[in-house]
Structure 1
């Protein structure tokens, strides 16, 4: 009666085997070493040849009117604030925009003459190029009256203290030798070259050096520096700006930042002075018109008093006089305001630079709409100026700004005309009031009436003159005490520069990390996409089918190593397999062991031959039957004639006794396959197949049946009913994992009786930790037969001489104690 092994619940394991993966990393250590070597080499080359980039900073404190109160202003600032001469309110974010504007950057670079030409030293291998700034051994003097080709490379070789070689490629093909100071002139260039320090020039030191210079395009250079300037506020509550820029030469970047701060402060001060000058000019024009009137009124008043000997005026006359004077004062103010409105209209017709316009407060105007429109127009023109330097004339941004300027100018003109109209209405009302008072004056005595008229004209002129003189004095004081709203706190200094690229230590650290991560990622991907069976755990985690043994890689040239190397690890592994099979076939008359696999090349014939030999060597009468009628191999390995065999027996051409052949190996008999028939499957369905196995069971202790691959042909399925156990071959790193679920399904449905798996071609040097013939355990379930602990048995085998590396010896010592 056949014994059924006990069923154990099967759980499919999907977790990553960390120990196995660690061994895989250790086994492939050289790939990590190679990857790290290349990564460190690249890091070294980057650190060696990458252009060094330095960061420099300066700080500027700016006035922020959104945070400063009246109490924080100085005396003259309070005076100016009261006059509202410098009417634009300072905002820290607007100032940041000004510092990063194209116009300010352009003006800054225009004043830095060393920025006009870039001098470069070319490395010996031509890989690295180092800008020299003002440390170049020569200087170039450009002829400003001649057109210069910008951005074109001019090569220079300093030959001696007297002459140099000049070459220009890129289509010009110029190669000439010149003396220092000689002009070089063609259609593209006109310049002279001099030694910077002729006294200290060393020709031998410079002989191997190669230089070139480039005449820079100022607009392109402006865009470059404008783009790399970074501005931050150091404190959310403060108004200190930190200016940072980066470049290959720290001194050059420091010079730029310091000059930028200087030009920024100077331009702000110049703007304030220009507004003050225009204000004084406007007041002077008004004073010029009133001085003559005041002088005439003063003379008339003096002459009238002398001629008529009248000193006092009656109380009634004084009352009328005071009222008329009040109206006349109001009229004078309105006349000044009207003049200012007309000035604005003329200014808009003639001038584009509205920032030079006199402030409305000078004329005593406080209309918020007018002031707001003027400020908006000034800001729009400033934006337009910056855009014109960086964009095309028909760019969408410029068209949008022009449209806004047009609309704002139109609103401003309409507002001014409206103010003129309202002022004229006010003047008419005042004139009517004055006319009423004039009628009352006519009732006074003629002398008194004449005196009142003269004094009225004089007082009006005097009041206007006094008012204008006060404004003139205020504007003069404001201009005289004018200082910049901003101040440089810290200038940029090259000794404080910070190297930001290349970051040597960080690059080496990144190289080490990448040198480890890249091969690790590749190993993970290979592991993830690898569909081959690598070790026993790939099988154990996915099936309940027991593993009956593992066979190592055959390092000999013999196909039957158990015969030629009986004390080898290979032979011992087959002995362990023999023991496991004997334990599995524990019932009477269970003798037939069928050996098969999924596809060709997994080693089923090799396993069948060596299993047959090892069983025969134990004293058991063994038959090795070659039922692979399509690709027979056994007859070649045992050097037997294959003309007579199983195919001829099944075809009823030979008897059972005729096909059973005795070999030189004691207790081993072989039935070869015979001549390859045209219809193997039909032959196997012949009743003589059953007769063969019945007779073989009577004559032999064990029958080893070599069959075709299970997944290729149906022959094996026809032979399964005659087998007592099936030994299914899987080969390391060759067989697909997809076969395991298929086997498990057959096993669970009892379609394959007493199925067992044999793992073949395990590499002795692999990282998976196999040791031939060991690790099978006792009992049913996953393992059968006997087994020793992993790693035992050193010195018991007749092993091949396998050379181990020093690293593997260390691993062996650490993990195989």
Structure 2
């Protein structure tokens, strides 16, 4: 028995496909509604589909070394091969800093619009004017400004401000500000080419063509700076072909010209940056030489003036020939001494720089001061190369990457080599300087033997020669650096710049939105039907009853809209009447054999009120009466009497009066107007209905009725609410348990199953009431469309009334 109960309970969790399909049919209106709404939304979205354009360019990343110089030529260093250049270029193109440079140069934070029916179209370079913003002041942020061309020289700006202040953004300093604006509607006229200086707007608007059409209106605003920068970081870059040093740059968007300008400007900025990096060495050398030339030029002018002054005041004749040898030798020694001192100073400065700085890419070449020592030049070259390599990798790697530790170790090793070379070079230079100083002393001693005036002249001439020689060397070095700078070429070369070659772009397939709308339109009703079926806890079909209980189903009663419960009396040929006749026939098979020829008592009950037990009781009693059997309908529901309304009888006397011994049985039995059918009403509602039903007088009443009638139909209280029905069941030969379609919950049958399993109810059967005959209900219950011509059916309602009732039922259903 317990195993059977488990089997029954397990069946209750099975998903009911039949109910799911029936609910889908009932939700036909929801299908139409959802498909209509989704289709309308898809149509609306399709109006916003913009044409997507694409632009691309090809660039080459090569190691373009200076063809005029080699690694041994004074100022030129070998910067290395193409290793990591491609990767570095890709990272630079996608970096925030690079995007900022391009956006600022093109002022892409200024947006141009042409008003459309559904959205504003990006009108960059489609407007007859161009806006140049002053980035040194804050500009009105995000608010649209309308511009209307009045004539060839004049235009009108207008805007609407909701308050006296508005948001502003300082594009130079990248910060937000609050600006004063004219509250309300504002408009003002200006001329093309004139500077516009307002508290919230400082721009210059120029015409893009000599002649423009008048009357046109456009919008422009200052947009989100960082949002614009971040949007261009998504530029697509890939080697073409894979593994090569040729890069394909591509962008997609709604404005082709904006894409073209960004790609081309982006390449120009990277090319310019690479060239500046390569020229950094020459530029720093030129700056060093220029600073030295300023001082040297002053010294040269002074020595030249001193020489001229001495010649004007001196009486010496042929001074040059008299001391030319001494002067030439001493000048050569002084120049050589000055060169040694420059080298010593360079070493001191280089050593100090290496100890105090971290960027070694701007170190001056040793050749600037005449140092031709191979080990020093090679070490400085290696140091600069490592420094540049480290800076390039910083674009693509984290600062704590292992490669940086390796490069730093190499840099420190090179610095140690340079320190050792400086130490040994300083020792040799100091020895050379000491020897030179001794030679200078010898020549100076010989010069001291000359007359004082001649000594003075030689001294002035010697100073002039030295200053002139040093000045000439510096000028030569500067010319060499300028030549290196001019001959340098960028490692970035544009092969194929982005260009508008025609084509209308691509447009997203609008049919996809309609397909999605169709799927959504079907998915929502199907999901709703699935959910409603899943959470539906009501009984709908005979199969539901068979799954939930082992109690047999004796009959099915169709749905009716008759005004009263007397449908068998009023329409004896209807399908409802035939259903009750079928129940009457089936009852013969469930009686006790001992009562086959005596009076039969049938109890009608249900789970709760409203399931149709009174309707079933009245019509079943009527069926028995119409078949010629003496029948009495007894209202045993002392708590909620109902039968009297249908027979138009006052409920002043009934079972409750008899049970308290207020009157006799004959006094409470009344005719119904239907042949062979009497009725015994419930009577006034007593304060203790359960106790009255349990009295011996109740049993005597039923025993007396069995002597007088063939069939006794007992309309009892709901079994699931009160215990009265169990007391009455003791007197019944059969029990009919009424279940109403779509009203009785599945869990309500647990009570009757429990009573049945405990044998507290005998000969019990289910009656499925108020069944919608338009469905398929299984096992031959109901007649459906096949009864036409055999029964007197109700007149069909109009379509409008049926739809109205359907909607009302759906919204009122639980």
TM-score relative to the length of structure 2:
0.71
Q: Say whether residues 1:692 and 2:683 are aligned partners.
A: no
Summarize the alignment of residues 282-681 of structure 1 with structure 2, pairs less than 5 Å apart.
339=346, 342-343=349-350, 345-346=352-353, 355-357=361-363, 363-366=376-379, 370=383, 374-375=387-388, 378-379=391-392, 418-424=416-422, 426-427=424-425, 480=487, 482-489=489-496, 491=498, 493=500, 495=502, 499=506, 503-585=509-591, 587-589=593-595, 591-681=600-690
Question: What secondary structure does 2:712 align onto?
Answer: strand
Going from structure 1 to structure 2, the CA distance change for 1:338 and 1:734 (only over 3 Å counts) comes to farther
The 8 Å contact of residues 119 and 211 in structure 1, kept in 2 or not, is answered as yes
Compute the displacement of 1:357 (Å). 4.0
8 Å CA contact 1:567–1:798 kept in 2: the answer is yes
Matched, 1:154 2:145: yes
Partner of 1:99: 93
Distance 1:96 1:559, change over 3 A: same
Alpha-carbon shift at residue 609 of structure 1 (Å): 1.0
Q: Classify 1:572/1:235 alpha carbon distance in 2 versus 1 (closer, same or farther; 3 Å).
A: farther
Residue 751 of structure 1: how far off its partner (Å): 2.3
Q: Are positions 1:745 and 2:754 aligned together? A: yes
Aligned residue number for residue 17 of structure 1 = 16
Deviations 1:564-603 (A, max 9, x none): 2222222222222222223333734262221111111111
1:175 aligns to what SS in structure 2?
A: strand
Per the alignment, do residues 198 and 483 of structure 1 end up closer, same or farther by CA in structure 2, a change over 3 Å counting? closer
Assess, with a 3 A threshold, how the Cα gap between structure 1 residues 632 and 192 changes in structure 2: closer, same or farther.
Answer: same
Q: Distance in 1 between matches of 2:52 and 2:185?
A: 35
* Structure-1 residue corresponding to 2:271: 265
Q: Per-residue deviation at 1:744?
A: 2.6
Aligned to 1:121: 114
For residue 730 of structure 2, give the secondary structure of its aligned residue in structure 1. helix
Instruction: Note the residue ranges of structure 2 that are not aligned, 5 or more in a row.
Output: 164-181, 293-324, 327-338, 367-373, 434-475, 804-814
Counterparts in 2 of 1:473 and 1:506: CA distance versus 1, 3 Å: same
Q: Give the direction of change, closer, same or farther, for the CA distance of 1:530–1:243 in structure 2 (3 Å limit).
A: farther
Residue-pair matches, total: 688
2:793 to 789, 796, 799: 799
Say if 1:343 and 1:596 are closer, same or farther in 2 by CA, change over 3 A.
Answer: same
1:112 aligns with 106
Q: Say if 1:521 and 1:585 are closer, same or farther in 2 by CA, change over 3 A.
A: same
Residues 96-118 of structure 1: CA distance to partner in whole angstroms, max 9, x if unpaired? Answer: 221122332233234436x3632
- Contact (CA 8 Å) 1:80, 1:478: kept in 2 or not? no
C-alpha change, 1:230 and 1:481, in structure 2 (3 Å) is closer
| SS of alignment partner, residue 679 of structure 2 | strand
Give the drift of 1:26: 2.3
1:240 Cα offset (Å)? 4.9
What is the aligned partner in structure 1 of residue 740 from structure 2?
Answer: 731
Q: Distance in 2 between matches of 1:479 and 1:166?
A: 47
Corresponding residue for 1:33? 32
Aligned to 1:307: none
- Check whether the contact 1:276–1:475 (CA below 8 A) recurs between aligned residues: yes
Distance in 2, Cα, partners of 1:200 & 1:20 = 71
Q: CA deviation at 1:16?
A: 2.4
Task: Please name the residue that 1:135 is paired with.
Answer: 126
Of the structure 1 ranges 140-149 and 633-642, higher mean CA displacement relative to structure 2 is found in: 140-149
Deviation of residue 655 (structure 1)? 2.2
Is the Cα–Cα contact under 8 Å of residues 622 and 669 in structure 1 kept in the other structure?
yes
Judge conservation of contact 1:340–1:363 (CA < 8 Å) in 2: no
Runs of at least 5 residues in structure 1 that lack an aligned partner in the other structure = 1-5, 66-72, 287-302, 305-331, 385-396, 436-468, 778-786, 810-817
Label 1:434 to 1:176 Cα distance change in 2 as closer, same or farther (>3 A). Answer: closer
| Structure 2 counterpart of 1:54 | 52
- Verify the 8 A CA contact 2:539 2:740 in the aligned structure 1: yes
Report whether the alignment pairs 1:167 with 2:155. no
Give the 3-state SS of the residue equivalent to 1:20 in structure 2.
helix
700, 713, 719: which one aligns with 2:728: 719
1:376 CA displacement: 6.4
- Correspondence list, 1:168-183, <5 A: 168-170=159-161, 171=163, 172=182, 173-178=184-189, 180-181=191-192
Give distance in 1, aligned partners of 2:23 and 2:589: 34
1:769 to 2:769 alignment = no
Q: Distance in 1 between matches of 2:383 and 2:278?
A: 20
- Note if contact 2:607-2:749 (Cα within 8 Å) is conserved in structure 1: no
Distance 1:558 1:196, change over 3 A: farther
Q: Distance in 2 between matches of 1:175 and 1:604?
A: 79
Matches within 5 A, 1:247-266: 247-266=253-272
CA distance in 2, matches of 1:584, 1:140: 98
Checking the alignment, whether the CA contact within 8 Å between 2:726 and 2:760 is kept in structure 1 is no
Cα distance, 1:344 vs structure 2: 6.6
Rounded to whole Å, the distance in 2 between the matches of 1:508 and 1:678 is: 67
Please report how far the alpha carbon of residue 512 of structure 1 lies from its aligned counterpart in structure 2 after TM superposition. Answer: 1.4
Conservation of the 8 A alpha-carbon contact between 2:638 and 2:656: yes
Q: CA deviation at 1:622?
A: 1.6
1:683 is matched with which residue? 692
Paired position in structure 1 for 2:219: 212
Q: Distance in 1 between matches of 2:590 and 2:241?
A: 83
Q: CA deviation at 1:604?
A: 1.2
Q: CA deviation at 1:700?
A: 2.2
Query: CA–CA distance in 2 between the matches of 1:184 and 1:226?
Result: 30
In 2, Cα distance between equivalents of 1:601 and 1:198: 88
- Structure 1 Cα separation of the partners of residues 365 and 574 of structure 2: 108
Aligned partners of 2:291, 2:427: CA distance in 1, in Å?
A: 27
Partners of 2:546 and 2:381 lie apart in 1 by 88
Is the Cα–Cα contact under 8 Å of residues 154 and 212 in structure 1 kept in the other structure? yes
CA distance, structure 1, for counterparts of residue 121 and residue 579 of structure 2: 69
In 2, Cα distance between equivalents of 1:163 and 1:664:
101
Q: Cα deviation per residue 1:612-665 (whole Å; 9 max; x = unaligned)?
A: 112222222221110000110101111123222111111122222332222211
- CA drift of 1:692 comes to 2.0
Verify the 8 A CA contact 1:142 1:192 in the aligned structure 2: yes
Calculate the aligned-residue CA RMSD, in Å.
5.2
Q: Is the partner of 1:738 in helix, strand or coil? A: helix
Go from structure 1 to structure 2 and tell me whether the alpha carbon gap of 1:556 and 1:691 turns closer, same or farther (over 3 Å shift): same
Change in Cα spacing, 1:651 to 1:246, as seen in structure 2 (3 Å) is same
Stretch moving more, 26-35 or 653-662: 653-662
